[in-house]
Structure 1
Amino acid sequence: MTDSSQTSATAAAPPLPGRWERFRDSYLLYSFKRDIIAQLSLLVFIALVAIAVLAPWLSPMNPYDLAQIDILASELPPFWVDGSDPAYLLGTDAQGRDMLSTILYGARVSLIIGFGAVALQAIIGVSFGLMAGYLGGRVDAFLMRLADIQLSFSTLMVAIIVGALVKAIFGGATFSTYAVPLLVVIIGLAEWPQYARTVRASVLAERSKEYVDAARVMGLRSKRIMFRHVLPNTLSPIFVISTVQIANAIISEAALSFLGLGMPETHPSLGSLIKAGFDYIQSGSWWITLIPGAVLVILVLSINLLGDWLRDVMNPRLYKG
């Protein structure tokens, strides 16, 4: 073949599709465009995250500023109930704080704990799962037995035990001051086995493939093969687990707050707001608990629906090309 023919053949070859073209033609986007539930769930989730991030600018008042709290305006009902105050759209709680402001700030705290705990779970679980699946042998046996021991207890039980120990060691005042990072660590340590077992199963399927053998023949270190070659091929189940685990972490934080091992009332989350208003339901101040509870249900439901959609889309058996 002459140089001119080679040049013409090269010029005639179509360019490789870019990232945007591959995403535009992907089954992920194809499925999302045809799933109204996934679209609504993502829209609701993005809206809740946005208002939580923008809470300092959207809130009528700062619930952490004692100077803005009027105790004489406590337990005012929402705007659609008789006896309400137009200045407080969703009413006030027992301390006189604006419910709309506390919900916005509380949603931000719940999301921070949820995302932070899942990040910690992923770091620990993915690392352990990679080592167990790739190295095998005693490492695999030790790490999986450790995961089995923790999975033999319920996640909430582990979080309660760890949270009670931390509160007993450091004291209630210290726990309240550093409640957010402590809850991230407590919930993160309680739920890492889900990542470890899932990643291990994926790694066991990947390590016998030809690209792993080729990397070994090239003399690459095990650490590089695990994190640079094997890990990218196990991301699909990690994404699916992460969506579900964010919802679980938020629910775990709410449960711990309801048991007195979560966020303090002075720095509320959605869980602590529900717990703070639980004692006032029978007195008629139902909105203190029910409105934050409704926000929590909507937030968790939207995340779970997104997780169900991702699980179906990323399941290779359901892929239709």
Structure 2
Amino acid sequence: MQQSYFLHSFLRDPLAVGSLFILLLLVIASFGAPLIAPHNPYDTTTIDILDSELPPIWLEKSDSRFLLGTDSQGRDMLSTMLYGMRVSIIIGLGAVFLQAVMGILIGLVAGYKGKRLDAFLMRLADVQLSFSTYMVAIFFGALFQAAFGMGMYEEFAIPLLIFIIGFAEWPQYARTVRASVMAEKKKEYVEAARVIGLRPGRIMWRHILPNTLTSVLVISTVQVANAIMSEAALSFIGLGMPVTRPSLGSLIKAGFDYIFSGSWWITLFPGLALVLLILSVNLLGDWLRDFLNPKLYKE
């Protein structure tokens, strides 16, 4: 019954349906890039520098091989965007998974145990929130490059960015889960579980946690969009993905130097793709928040 109500409510919202359609289209296209993309931007044998900065196919001096033109390195823009979007999505999902694991664990313990442990963990979260994602990226990025060199950084840029963004944003989950746990642990089913002798760990993970997943699900949709934006921002200021490993952020950064010379498509098309991706995720998150909150959702 609940599933049919969920589906019925979703299908009645054309904005949510359209957002899901666009999101699925972008995800399928990006992860299917090896099959869909006309060129492989990682295969240097197929890239010719003489093809650099060719305009989209509907403009003069274009090449029919490159539908959306080429970038400053001669790579096909459409192919590079598809591969780059896949990198951005992987970083966004990976960072949110790390945030969720850290935040849920800390929030559960802080909310259930309370007292000194709760105070210590929440002050730790406050300290973490005082450092922005960019500060964390500067610190760990500079440390990694100094220790292992730029070549190693380019090779491990994706897991490093997942760690940086995930480590910087876990307090959002911790505070949300802690608030839900503090409300749930006072309810009768938790008292009953204590009376029959269940261990605190079992009570937290098997009984309290499932009742906090609604808030976790809602915040996850927002955090995915935030993580993708963080990767794009870090790449734009030179702290994210290198130009040789395209992401939407690094493509925008690479094309920004050429936007005033007439090669506007190098920045515009990845920027539009980034906006569509983030907007579709945010709109789905807004609908999900309204649906799961009976005070906000209206028939």
TM-score range, shorter chain: over 0.9
User: Which whole-Å deviations, capped at 9, do the CAs of 1:250-292 have from their partners, x for residues lacking one?
Assistant: 1111111111111111111000011111111111111011100
User: What corresponds to 1:22 in structure 2?
Assistant: 2
User: What corresponds to 1:249 in structure 2?
Assistant: 227
CA RMSD of aligned residues (A): 1.3
User: What corresponds to 1:229 in structure 2?
Assistant: 207
Alignment of 1:57-68 (within 5 A): 57-68=35-46
Code of the residue aligned with 2:156 in structure 1: it is Y
Matches of 2:276 and 2:46, distance apart in 1 = 29
User: What corresponds to 1:150 in structure 2?
Assistant: 128
TM-score by length of 1: 0.90
Alignment of 1:1-321 (within 5 A): 21-24=1-4, 26=5, 28-318=6-296
Asked if structure 2 preserves the Cα contact closer than 8 Å seen for 1:150 and 1:193, the reply is yes
Matches of 2:269 and 2:243, distance apart in 1 = 16
Matches of 1:209 and 1:165, distance apart in 2 = 47
TM-fit CA distance, 1:320 = 6.2
TM-score by length of 2: 0.97
SS in 2 for 1:316: coil
Identify which range, 150-159 or 249-258, moves more after superposition: 150-159
Asked if structure 1 preserves the Cα contact closer than 8 Å seen for 2:133 and 2:168, the reply is yes
TM-fit CA distance, 1:319 = 5.1
User: What corresponds to 1:6 in structure 2?
Assistant: none
Code of the residue aligned with 2:138 in structure 1: it is I
Code of the residue aligned with 2:144 in structure 1: it is V
Code of the residue aligned with 2:69 in structure 1: it is G
SS in 1 for 2:93: helix
Count residues with an aligned counterpart: 299
Code of the residue aligned with 1:23 in structure 2: it is Q
Matches of 1:102 and 1:174, distance apart in 2 = 22
Pair member with larger Rg: 1
Asked if structure 1 preserves the Cα contact closer than 8 Å seen for 2:131 and 2:168, the reply is no
The runs of 5 or more residues in structure 1 that have no matched partner are 1-20
